[in-house]
Amino acid sequence: MNFFNTARKVLQQNIREYGMYIALFVIMAIFTVTTKGTFISSRNIVNLVNQTGYIAVLAVGMTLVIVIRHIDLSVGFLGGFLGAVAAIAMSQWNLPAYLAVPLTLALGILAGTIIAFLVAQMKIPAFVATLAGWLIYRGAILVVTESTGTIVISDPTFNAIGNGFIPDIPGLTILPGIHKLTLIFGVLAIIFLVFSEINSRKKKQAYNFEVLPTEMFIIKLVFMSALIGGITWLLAGYQGLSWTAVVVLVVTIIYHFITTQTVLGRHIYAVGGNPEAAELSGINVKRITYIVFGSMGMLAGLSGILFASRLQSATTTAGGLWELDAIAAAFIGGVSPAGGIGKVAGSIIGALVMLSLTSGMNLMGIGISYQYIARGAVLAAAVIFDVKTRGKG
Amino acid sequence: MNAPILEMKNITKEFPGVKALSNVSFQVAQGEIHCLVGENGAGKSTLMKILSGVYSHGNYTGDILFNGQVQNFFGISDSEKAGIAIIYQELALVPEMTVYENIFLGNEVRNGFLVDWNETVKKAGEMLKKVKLDINPALKVRELGVGKQQLVEIAKALSKNVKLLILDEPTSSLNETDSENLLKLLRDLKEQGVTCIMISHKLKEVIKIADTVTVLRDGETICTLRADEISENMLIKHMVGREINNIYPKREKTVSQEIVLEVKNWSATNPSLGRTILKDINFNLKKGEIVGLAGLIGSGRTELALSIFGNPDEYQLSGDLYVKGKKQHFAHPRDAINAGVAYVTEDRKGDGLILIQDVKQNISLANLRQIADRGVVNNNAEVKVANEYKSSLNIKTPSVEQLVSNLSGGNQQKVALGKWLFVSPEILILDEPTRGIDVGAKYEIYTIMTDLVKQGMSIIMISSELSEILGMSDRVYIVASGKIAGEMATAEATQEKIMRLATN
């Protein structure tokens, strides 16, 4: 009885933090049942992760933009446009992938800087400035694809980003059909997680800060390890970790580190929490605005690359509604519309929720019209949940 | 004593981890002015929030009897319907709307489905007459000063047939003339049968106006006193639970001859307003000195501080600024901080602290590089620093991981002070350092200031409280209409002399 009471209390106090993980879990469980297991099959999960990639990286950038109290509507078509630029760079200018990719990312940073100039220097509201960007990049995609239509990409290195998998350790014969290197990564991730959690708990205890009761802490560790282990096992059962998943993981880890551990990250959240106080504390708010929009532009470029690589071509319609999916993912992931609050990891979960809905409903054969309605309902429910639990976390 | 209009019985309210009110009982008689005093965090605001329905019925225990009936308020609209109106320190007016629109906002004069604007304007005029405010009701609220805005708030409350008016620190942002007017108005309203509860930290004011005073301390009712029984010392004794003989700590002579900051022919224009806000200002600050900047609200003291502190509002400046003998042009607050200047803002909630972050994050914010290695913050060092300031400044919080929004005003001010002490400045500008905080916390802040100048720091203190200026500073500059209207050693200064120059 005592145990359940503690469990309930812990859950109530941390409902905001755990809510979206639970939501993702529930959505996945429901689809697993309704599709008689097809949803949770290795192949589908790998596909799901690959489909989520281009929205996930946008959602990471969008998290920071919303944290500093702005919005960026231009990133969808910017991503589509930059994907087309990458395609042209390779197919018409004959640049190799390892030059085309950095060029695309650099152009993304430039595009973000222009938005930042309008927002920080000219004091134009981000909504308006990026709406202008939305129109301009939409036109720009049409301009570059008008003469050729779809631009086919034949560079195998580039196409591997969206379709390839990491190689396995050669020569190992145990566990046939299972991707060993993926499994090893999964095990390492679990070990790292357990150690870092125990370490941070010890430090908190040393300062007499509030920590989870021991049994709850163990349950949390077991749950998280099981989650990572399960996903790893599923991925390893198909072809292992895809390059898209690697890209998303690397982006997430870098941004998570920046936002939680660095001076820059603190400054970003300070600007979002109270821009006037941040400025008077010696933080250059304009500089932060440039950095955040610059990073958003770069991630839009990356998003375009992931998408173009997956389709092995650049199309005239690439980029439509990506920005809204990214914004929705961020809000589902617990980013506060008022600014100053929101986690990168949360937004990734948000993106997974959105794409799980799409994937699950596709498998169930539900029409696109109802899919939109269902996704809208989930977004509304997520934000209602967020507002209702605020201040209890 | 008249029959009670309001009785609050055995009210207990808990927040996670804190008991804000425990078994508080509170009684207000019909037609009196009842003052509620106590240190910050004593529970005054919580009690009033329960009364006005902000904390709805069921979130606390105990009973509210209003007009002899048990009341269960589930929101402000319920308490308003019963005839209770509350006016907060931060006014709740819409600046871009006119006075008459504001007075009847949410309570529009209707004619069928439509708003009857002619009737609205006429009735607004009547309400303004009741609060003795002679202005055109078609003015926009943002064009009025704070004092007049407050009267508009009261007019708004009166338009709802209020029986019990609650004022939370009504005079904290008013100058002396406006405060006088407000107190006079409260007496007039009393004659008209309006009962009034006033929360205030200004004890002189309390003694002047109250019929009855209730003292709260640490979430409990300490005593209720009648007007003829109260004295300032007695109130302080009940509020802090001990006697404070001196409101200001003893100052040793710490002033040296070295000038650490000097401003010459300093003028500033605000480009967005297109007018001159500072004109030909000359002043200096010596090492170990506390210089007071006295003046009325809006006289340009805060603008002067901001123009020195890296000019974040981007005024057009002319004139010379010397810090420790070196001519300086600060292009950003960062430059000023690097040169050893710190500025604790007037409005700690608005532009001083980040309320949604915790104590340690706020304290470290202006000097994160000190506790970071190649851009990575050392979280342990941060906790250590925060805990040092928590104990040296006596910040009352369960841990440094507490959100700043959960602290009382005095403790928030100490967090703001800690944040700026952490940059180890040589020149500290304090803008209204004790606004809205209680006697005990005030004394602590004064003691900290005394210690700082003893260690060789120099302080510019902007204050609207003349007794504070006289009690703490070595020298006073009087600012009026963007100019220095006078300078005097505190020994020669009196409240009257300063007021005469400030209102020139």
Instruction: List % helix, strand, coil for chain B (3-state, nearest 5).
Output: 35, 30, 35
Sequence spans of domains, chain A:
37-164+242-351
The larger pLDDT score, comparing residue B26 to residue B239, is at B26
pLDDT reported for residue A392? 43
Asked if A263 lies within 8 A of B369 by C-beta distance, the reply is yes
The larger pLDDT score, comparing residue B296 to residue A93, is at A93
**A262 vs chain B: nearest CA distance in angstroms?**
4
The rounded distance, in Å, linking the Cα atoms of A34 and A13 is: 32
Q: Does the structure show a pLDDT above 90 at B237?
A: no
- B4-240: which CATH architecture? 3-Layer(aba) Sandwich (3.40)
**C-alpha distances out from residue B56 to A331, A385, B48, Å:** 29, 21, 12
Residues on chain B touching A262 (C-beta within 8 angstroms) = 372, 375-377
Residues on chain B touching A340 (C-beta within 8 angstroms) = 354, 356-357
List pLDDT tens digits, range A168-193. 888 777 777 788 899 999 999 999 99
List pLDDT tens digits, range B148-160. 888 898 899 888 8
Asked if A280 lies within 8 A of B356 by C-beta distance, the reply is no
pLDDT reported for residue B289? 95
The rounded distance, in Å, linking the Cα atoms of B464 and B134 is: 26
Asked if A207 lies within 8 A of B350 by C-beta distance, the reply is no
Residues on chain B touching A283 (C-beta within 8 angstroms) = 334, 365
Q: Does the structure show a pLDDT above 60 at A23?
A: yes
Cross-chain CB nearest to B356 (options A265, A276, A340): A340
pLDDT reported for residue A211? 81
Closest listed residue to residue A269, CA positions, set B131, B462, B368: B368
Residues on chain A touching B353 (C-beta within 8 angstroms) = 274, 277
The larger pLDDT score, comparing residue B120 to residue B242, is at B120
Residues on chain A touching B368 (C-beta within 8 angstroms) = 263, 266-267
Closest listed residue to residue B36, CA positions, set B272, B276, B202, B159: B202
| Residue A278 sits at the chain B interface (C-beta within 8 Å) | yes
pLDDT band (50, 70, 90) for residue B260: very high
Share above pLDDT 90 across residues of chain B, in percent, rounded to a whole number? 47
Sequence spans of domains, chain B:
4-240, 248-340+425-504, 355-423
Q: Does the structure show a pLDDT above 80 at B17?
A: no
List pLDDT tens digits, range A298-344. 999 999 999 999 999 999 989 989 999 999 999 999 898 889 999 99
Identify the closest residue of chain B to A340 by CA–CA distance.
Answer: B356
pLDDT reported for residue B12? 92
Identify the closest residue of chain B to A202 by CA–CA distance.
Answer: B380
CATH number for B248-340+425-504: choose from 3.40.50.300, 3.40.50.80, 3.20.20.70, 2.40.128.260: 3.40.50.300
Residues in chain B: 504
**B8 vs chain A: nearest CA distance in angstroms?**
27
Identify the closest residue of chain A to B337 by CA–CA distance.
Answer: A282
Cross-chain CB nearest to A279 (options B333, B356, B387): B333
Share above pLDDT 70 across residues of chain A, in percent, rounded to a whole number? 98
Q: Which of residues 324-363 of B touch A (CB under 8 A)?
A: 332-334, 336-338, 343, 345, 350-357, 361
Share above pLDDT 90 across residues of chain A, in percent, rounded to a whole number? 68
Identify the closest residue of chain B to A206 by CA–CA distance.
Answer: B380
Q: Does the structure show a pLDDT above 90 at A75?
A: yes
pLDDT band (50, 70, 90) for residue A393: very low
pLDDT reported for residue B40? 64
Averaged pLDDT score across all residues of chain A: 91
List pLDDT tens digits, range B320-371. 999 999 999 999 999 999 999 999 998 888 899 999 999 999 999 999 999 9
Q: Does the structure show a pLDDT above 90 at B481?
A: no
Q: Which of A280, A288, A389 to mutate to test the interface with B (most CBs of B within 10 A)?
A: A280
Spatial CB neighbours of A173, under 8 Å, sequence gap ≥ 6: none
Identify the closest residue of chain B to A283 by CA–CA distance.
Answer: B334
The ipTM of this complex is: 0.87
Written as six digits, the tokens of B243 are: 């006697």
Residues on chain A touching B333 (C-beta within 8 angstroms) = 279-282
Q: Which of residues 399-418 of B touch A (CB under 8 A)?
A: 399, 401
The rounded distance, in Å, linking the Cα atoms of B33 and B197 is: 6
